[in-house]
Amino acid sequence: MQKRAELYSGKAKTVYTTEDPEHLVLEFRDDTSAFDGEKVERLARKGAVNNRFNGFIMERLQAAGIPTHFERLLGEREALVKRLDMLPVECVIRNISAGSLCRRLGVAEGLDLEPPVFEFFLKNDALHDPMINDSHILTFGWATAAEIRRMKELTREVNGVLQPLFREAGLLLVDYKLEFGRFRGELLLGDEFSPDGCRLWDAKTREKLDKDRFRQGLGSVVESYEEVARRLGIGMTASS
Ligand code: TMP
Ligand code: ASP
């Protein structure tokens, strides 16, 4: 399927229309942003790595019965997806304390969270993605009560698939963010799953192998993403 017009350019991906109104092409760029777009850099190979990473994870989720927008990889940095009507909320699950949870609640980093913490955030960079709850979502019409239930259910199901997958690769899935959208009356997982939108630590050393390397200026950002991909057995060439 061929790209037609650019529909939308986000911080790390550009979205194109295709000849089919129900499908879009996602292009994963090398641009890497943090702090709601305040820190931006271009990191060589990141787009290609995240495209493959996302394809691998989406296929695993799909195989486990989680409905996603992913159709197939199209090239080094492009994927074909279903066109969703995206909900303006982000779903975050935390298995281990880190990031904004520690800042907000004053808890130490690295605590096991049992049961995992679930949080909603409003997708709005200008407002720095504020945390919201079910009541805000209902009152402002960002999703229905049934969609809220479904987002929570699917986010937990994703955890049940991905936690063991990463664990077997010697990695701790600390937290991650998911976005959902409507397609023909059903809620599907959209956007991407890559080290740009999750935290992954080495299970033994707890070394950070995700976008915190970029946020915190630790260096070797893409090299770490590639290390995670290698451990998961994700091939990095177009033929593998
Ligand atoms: P946080 O600790 O900054 O709230 O983020 C929790 C997890 O969700 C972390 O893995 C990063 C991811 N995330 C995004 O990728 N984009 C976002 O806009 C938000 C709010 C979180
Ligand atoms: N929404 C944030 C951003 O600007 C997420 C992050 O800090 O990674 O990229």
Domains and CATH numbers, the chain: 3-82 (3.30.200.20), 85-220 (3.30.470.20)
Is the pLDDT at 238 greater than 60, yes or no? Answer: no
Which residue has the least CA distance to atom 2 on ligand 2?
A: 36
Which tens digit of pLDDT belongs to each residue from 179-206? Answer: 999 999 999 999 999 999 999 999 999 9
The whole-model pTM stands at: 0.96
Q: How far is the CA of 176 from the centre of ligand 1 (A)?
A: 6
Is the pLDDT at 135 greater than 70, yes or no? Answer: yes
Q: In the prediction, which pLDDT does 237 show?
A: 61
Distance of alpha carbon 53 from alpha carbon 197, whole angstroms: 12
Mean pLDDT over each residue of the chain, to the nearest integer = 96
Closest to 129 measured CA to CA, from 194, 31, 36, 215: 36
Q: In the prediction, which pLDDT does 216 show?
A: 97
Q: In the prediction, which pLDDT does 240 show?
A: 42
pLDDT band at 236 (very low <50, low <70, confident <90, very high): confident
Task: List strand residue ranges (DSSP E) for the chain, in order.
Answer: 3-9, 13-18, 23-28, 31-34, 39-42, 70-75, 78-82, 85-86, 89-96, 112-122, 131-132, 171-178, 180-183, 186-189, 198-202
Q: What is the mean pLDDT of residues 173-180?
A: 98
Q: How far is the CA of 40 from the centre of ligand 2 (A)?
A: 10
Which residue has the least CA distance to atom 4 on ligand 2?
A: 36
Closest to 25 measured CA to CA, from 82, 67, 68, 76: 82
Strands 3-9 and 186-189 come out as unpaired
**What is the DSSP secondary structure assignment for residue 211, as one 8-state letter?**
T
Contacts of 204 (CB under 8 A, 6+ apart): 170
Which tens digit of pLDDT belongs to each residue from 38-91? Answer: 999 999 999 999 999 999 999 999 999 999 999 999 999 999 999 999 999 999
Q: What is the mean pLDDT of residues 7-33?
A: 97
The closest-lying atom of ligand 2 relative to the alpha carbon of residue 37 is 4
Q: How far is the CA of 53 from the centre of ligand 1 (A)?
A: 18
Is the pLDDT at 239 greater than 90, yes or no? Answer: no
Q: How far is the CA of 20 from the centre of ligand 2 (A)?
A: 31
Ligand nearest to the CA of 211: 2
Two tokens, residue 51: 């495209």
CB-ligand 1 contact for 208 (6 Å cutoff): no
**What is the DSSP secondary structure assignment for residue 129, as one 8-state letter?**
-
Counting beta carbons within 10 angstroms of the beta carbon of residue 221, is it exposed (0 to 12), middle (13 to 18) or buried (19 or more)?
buried
Closest to 155 measured CA to CA, from 123, 185, 119, 131: 119
Distance of alpha carbon 163 from alpha carbon 198, whole angstroms: 12
Q: How far is the CA of 222 from the centre of ligand 1 (A)?
A: 18
Higher pLDDT, 83 or 240: 83
CB-ligand 2 contact for 11 (6 Å cutoff): yes
Counting beta carbons within 10 angstroms of the beta carbon of residue 186, is it exposed (0 to 12), middle (13 to 18) or buried (19 or more)?
exposed
The closest-lying atom of ligand 2 relative to the alpha carbon of residue 36 is 4
| Best residue for ligand 1 mutational test, from 175, 179, 216 (most atoms within 8 Å of Cβ) | 175
Distance of alpha carbon 66 from alpha carbon 33, whole angstroms: 28
